[in-house]
Amino acid sequence: MADTDFKFTDYQPYDFANRRHIGPSPREMAEMLSVLGYPSLDALIDDTVPASIRQAEPLAWGAPKTEREALDTLRETAGKNKALVSLIGQGYYGTITPPVIQRTILENPAWYTAYTPYQPEISQGRLEALLNYQTMVCDLTGLDIANASLLDEATAAAEAMAIAERVAKSKAKAFFVDAHCHPQTIALIHTRAEPLGWEVIVGDPLADLDPAAVFGAIVQYPGTYGHVHDFTPVMAKLHAAGAIGIVAADPLALALLKSPGDMGADIAVGSTQRFGVPVGYGGPHAAYMAVKDAYKRSMPGRLVGVSVDARGNRAYRLSLQTREQHIRREKATSNICTAQVLLAVMASMYAVFHGPEGIKAIAQNVHQKTVRLAKGLEKLGFTVEPEVFFDTVTVDVGQLQGVILKAAVAEGVNLRRIGERRIGISLDERSRPVTLEAVWRAFGGDFSVDDFAPDYRLPRSLLRTSAYLTHPIFHMNRAESEMTRYIRRLSDRDLALDRSMIPLGSCTMKLNATAEMLPITWPEFSEIHPFVPADQAEGYRLMIDDLAAKLALITGYDAVSMQPNSGAQGEYAGLLAIRRYHLSRGDAHRTVCLIPTSAHGTNPASAQMVGMTVVTVKVSDSGDIDIADFRAKAEKYAETLSCCMITYPSTHGVFEETVKEICEIVHAHGGQVYLDGANMNAMVGLAKPGEIGSDVSHLNLHKTFCIPHGGGGPGMGPIGVKAHLAPFLPGHPEKGDAEGAVSAAPFGSASILPISWSYCLMMGGEGLTQATKVAILNANYIAARLKGAYDVLYTSKRGRVAHECIIDTRPLAASAGVTVDDVAKRLIDCGFHAPTMSWPVAGTLMIEPTESETKAELDRFCDAMLAIREEARAIEEGRMDRENNPLKNAPHTVEDLVGAWDRPYSREEACYPPGAFRVDKYWSPVNRVDNVYGDRNLVCSCPPLEDYSEAAE
């Protein structure tokens, strides 16, 4: 080779910056643009996004980082956190995540990239895991029915209060709260009760409770300072007065103690964090709620149930969905949408992994260590309270408080500061003999654990006698090979982003890049207690400040709160800020909230939670907000107008030209604008809500900013506000101002923020803008390819869609009897998760491809959709039977193939429609699931299963 033949390549092997997140290659993009008839991506964007809303300055904060650079930054930042041993308790405890669960669930895209299990056929694995979770919660609490997780213990307690108000016979308007509830729980109950006009009475339930004065009461068990009381008489008193009894209980303590159900509780709530989910500076972890059967229809959150498929085989599905906010809207009890599925799955597997014997042994071990600790402290002359306890004790140390806390930190241990004189200590599964010895040294003692005999100080009358975790699944052979295979079997039943695109409208299902996921399990992020002294969370502070600044830049707002744990919580926090703003100006009467009929169900549900009156606004045939109706309603309610809630681009997938005008109308009548930011994936870098005229928005970091959906959670829903609303952002008791607190932890689910932060770092402002443009390109490409076969319901005047499009399948129902369900289920045969079904328009499919999908994947999807149209045509033209056809019989399973084949179409047509891979074919584990049967025959815990015996000992 001659020297002159050698040329240095420009190609950067690792640093293909935006190509990680941007699916189509430059060549593919050029092909797609030519299909759409545009010379360039910018020409398409100029024709799609109205000039009137475009941001003037490009988004910029320096060059994008490579993966290695970003991870270096993350490492350096993590290194500024100090992961001490935290014995602070207060709802957050050390726990050991079994490595098999960490590796095969938490770090496994088959689990973390899944969507909420609305399509049951492709969700059987996670539905089974969630059913195990519900069974575990029912067993431990002794109650009849449990949901598949809530956001955190404190919100679960506030939700329980709301149920109580709804179902209690008592007409009282006050709620009693045990002073020994965790402070954040008390704060959230205040937040929730205040706008609804309910009085909150905090006191000692054994002494101060007047049951006739309240519609319900909540007690903490064990209490935040360690007390373990028998609340049976309290529950009885409440019932006699027609009020509801709620117990907030630690599930690990319940392994040893009488259950809330046995005390007569109507509702139990709590956190399953210490079942193998790291504290993570506050989250995410799964809260639980269990209720008596009579209250199941009032329970918020998702509920997994057992039904049958078209062959009569057992199949799981979400039950009683009509309870949810997307159906009940402003009449919903709760706005919860995204919950904590991935963490509930982890907690359920922790129970499967340990079984009842293991859980009991862990609980006993924790208790025994606490008794030893107490004995040592007593030997030093301290009085340890209470006399009987589970894992938490408090000591009145008087003047020594500061000295001891400091000495403990020097020993590498955080203890809880209580008031001016007391110290709280909560032990956990991780506490070692050296931990106890360190605590003793901080108190001035030099003991060895062996100096104290193991002992029990549990109240005898409260020892648990009822069985739990009796189902065979909690008794399987726990050899790691079995665990690994069980977890693998379940994930193999499901379709997640690791197998195919999930073209869900509204719920942006984009890439969750591996490099972004790595830091979340670093101990410097995952093992920080949310209430550690600030100097131990310096890394978190730096990251949160920088991410907040970037989100403010992206949205055009002045301040950002990271507290809300989900989009719906963000709405709630934003509306509370609006409410408090009006109150501060003496405008208590401003309570009307205008919401277009096309809004997401969480919008009206959130509005009613803050005591607003929802007035709905029409949507015109073009899909835009009916501006005349909007103006008329704003004028009609001018005196009482609080705000409007709009979504931009609209839920119809179009950039409305009138959005600025809408903001002006609301402002002219003294109202505020809440802009639902769930569709920010269409705006980042191109337009800013704050510049369009909105006052507050939430961002779904689990949509736009790459936090995985986890099968229905975790999430993060930070809100951005204009300066005038900044004083009304959520406070938190740990920060000294509990006003408006909406989450148990000050920064919500802080430990997943590294995902969004590293996304921003690796993309840079330019990369994020490019992602938005390609998201719009991909959606317009799909709309163009499907045009002719299906009507695209809404487009702009120039015929463009935003980042998603709605296609109309209703004509197929008329012409061929093919429903939107049939199309969705046939897509499973093609290896796809269905798009969003029947929202925001019944009988339609809403498709959002996101920028992450390659042209090849978009084409595979379009081929599948076009083939489905042709199958419908065969029915229309009488070439295929109206009842017995591949659409009606979808999805097809291996079971269908093994028996006699008597269908009027071939096995080949059944199983290998266009789009389906031949070798890597996804096989649905069940035939079509019968929804009606499941609701008529409600079973929401593990049924006795023959199948499990395969895995049993």
Sheet holding 696-698, edge to edge: 559-561, 719-721, 696-698, 672-676, 641-647, 592-596, 613-617
Token couple for 409: 């930190």
Fill in the per-residue mask, 473 to 512: x = in contact with ligand PLP (CB under 6 A), - = not in contact: ---------------------------------xx-----
Number of alpha carbons in the 13 Å side-chain half-sphere of residue 905: 23
Q: Quick check: 340 binds ligand PLP (CB under 6 A)?
A: no
**Residue closer to ligand PLP, measured from CB, 225 or 557:** 557
> How many whole angstroms separate alpha carbon 369 and alpha carbon 375?
10
DSSP string, 445-469: ----GGGS-----S-GGGB--S---
Give the β-pairing of 267-271 and 244-249.
parallel
Amino acid making up residue 224? T
Q: CB 735 → ligand PLP: shortest distance, Å?
A: 24
Token couple for 227: 């007390």
**Residue closer to ligand PLP, measured from CB, 784 or 802:** 802
Q: Are 782 and 36 in contact (CB under 8 A)?
A: no
Q: CB 397 → ligand PLP: shortest distance, Å?
A: 43
- Beta pairing partners, 426: 392
Task: Using CB positions, name the residue nearest to ligand PLP.
Answer: 567
Number of residues located near ligand PLP, criterion CB under 6 A: 16
Q: CB 47 → ligand PLP: shortest distance, Å?
A: 24
Q: Quick check: 302 binds ligand PLP (CB under 6 A)?
A: no
Amino acid making up residue 812? L
Among 566-574, 610-618, 656-664, 941-949, the segment contacting ligand PLP (CB under 6 A):
566-574
Q: Which run of H or of E encompasses 595?
A: strand 592-596
Among 266-274, 392-400, 564-572, 862-870, the segment contacting ligand PLP (CB under 6 A):
564-572
Nearest Cα neighbor of 349 from 233, 160, 480, 230 is 480
> How many whole angstroms separate alpha carbon 646 and alpha carbon 603?
9
Q: CB 876 → ligand PLP: shortest distance, Å?
A: 34
Residue 176's Cα: distance from chain center in Å? Answer: 29
**Residue closer to ligand PLP, measured from CB, 33 or 673:** 673
791-800 b/e with 16+ CB inside 10 Å = b? ebbbbbeeeb
**Residue closer to ligand PLP, measured from CB, 337 or 858:** 337
Among 144-152, 560-568, 619-627, 868-876, the segment contacting ligand PLP (CB under 6 A):
560-568
Which of 424, 567, 718, 720 lies at the binding interface for ligand PLP (CB under 6 A)?
Answer: 567
> How many whole angstroms separate alpha carbon 801 and alpha carbon 778?
10
Among 89-97, 492-500, 563-571, 931-939, the segment contacting ligand PLP (CB under 6 A):
563-571
Which of 426, 566, 681, 758 lies at the binding interface for ligand PLP (CB under 6 A)?
Answer: 566
Q: CB 717 → ligand PLP: shortest distance, Å?
A: 5
Sole residue written with tokens 């009020």: 243
**Residue closer to ligand PLP, measured from CB, 678 or 783:** 678
Q: Quick check: 184 binds ligand PLP (CB under 6 A)?
A: no
Which of 333, 561, 602, 642 lies at the binding interface for ligand PLP (CB under 6 A)?
Answer: 602
How far apart, in Å, are the Cα atoms of 831 and each of 189, 314, 927? Answer: 45, 22, 14
Q: CB 604 → ligand PLP: shortest distance, Å?
A: 11
Q: CB 619 → ligand PLP: shortest distance, Å?
A: 14
> How many whole angstroms separate alpha carbon 450 and alpha carbon 434?
11
> How many whole angstroms separate alpha carbon 325 and alpha carbon 337?
8
Token couple for 7: 């040329």
Among 165-173, 249-257, 416-424, 562-570, the segment contacting ligand PLP (CB under 6 A):
562-570
Site for ligand PLP in 568-587 (CB under 6 A): 568
> How many whole angstroms separate alpha carbon 887 and alpha carbon 889?
6
Nearest Cα neighbor of 707 from 756, 651, 666, 751 is 756
Nearest Cα neighbor of 612 from 645, 585, 565 is 645
> How many whole angstroms separate alpha carbon 443 and alpha carbon 430?
21
**Residue closer to ligand PLP, measured from CB, 526 or 602:** 602
Site for ligand PLP in 128-167 (CB under 6 A): none
Token couple for 155: 């919100």
Q: CB 568 → ligand PLP: shortest distance, Å?
A: 3
Amino acid making up residue 781? Y
**Residue closer to ligand PLP, measured from CB, 491 or 598:** 598
Amino acid making up residue 872? A
Which of 140, 337, 359, 951 lies at the binding interface for ligand PLP (CB under 6 A)?
Answer: 337
- φ/ψ of 390, rounded to 5, equals -105, -70
Secondary structure of residue 176 in the 3-state scheme? strand
Which of 647, 772, 795, 809 lies at the binding interface for ligand PLP (CB under 6 A)?
Answer: 647
Site for ligand PLP in 649-688 (CB under 6 A): 651, 676, 678
Q: CB 713 → ligand PLP: shortest distance, Å?
A: 8
Is the bond preceding residue 733 a cis peptide, omega within 30 degrees?
A: no
Q: CB 386 → ligand PLP: shortest distance, Å?
A: 39
**Residue closer to ligand PLP, measured from CB, 389 or 674:** 674
For the chain, what is the radius of gyration of the CA atoms?
A: 28
Site for ligand PLP in 685-724 (CB under 6 A): 700, 715, 717
> How many whole angstroms separate alpha carbon 510 and alpha carbon 705?
9
Which of 550, 600, 633, 785 lies at the binding interface for ligand PLP (CB under 6 A)?
Answer: 600
Q: CB 150 → ligand PLP: shortest distance, Å?
A: 12
Amino acid making up residue 823? V
Q: Quick check: 608 binds ligand PLP (CB under 6 A)?
A: no
Q: CB 602 → ligand PLP: shortest distance, Å?
A: 4
Sheet holding 267-271, edge to edge: 145-146, 287-291, 267-271, 244-249, 216-221, 174-178, 199-203
Site for ligand PLP in 225-264 (CB under 6 A): none
Q: CB 679 → ligand PLP: shortest distance, Å?
A: 6
Q: CB 702 → ligand PLP: shortest distance, Å?
A: 6
Q: Quick check: 550 binds ligand PLP (CB under 6 A)?
A: no
Q: CB 600 → ligand PLP: shortest distance, Å?
A: 3
Q: Which residues contact ligand PLP (rule: CB under 6 A)?
A: 337-338, 506-507, 566-568, 600, 602, 647, 651, 676, 678, 700, 715, 717
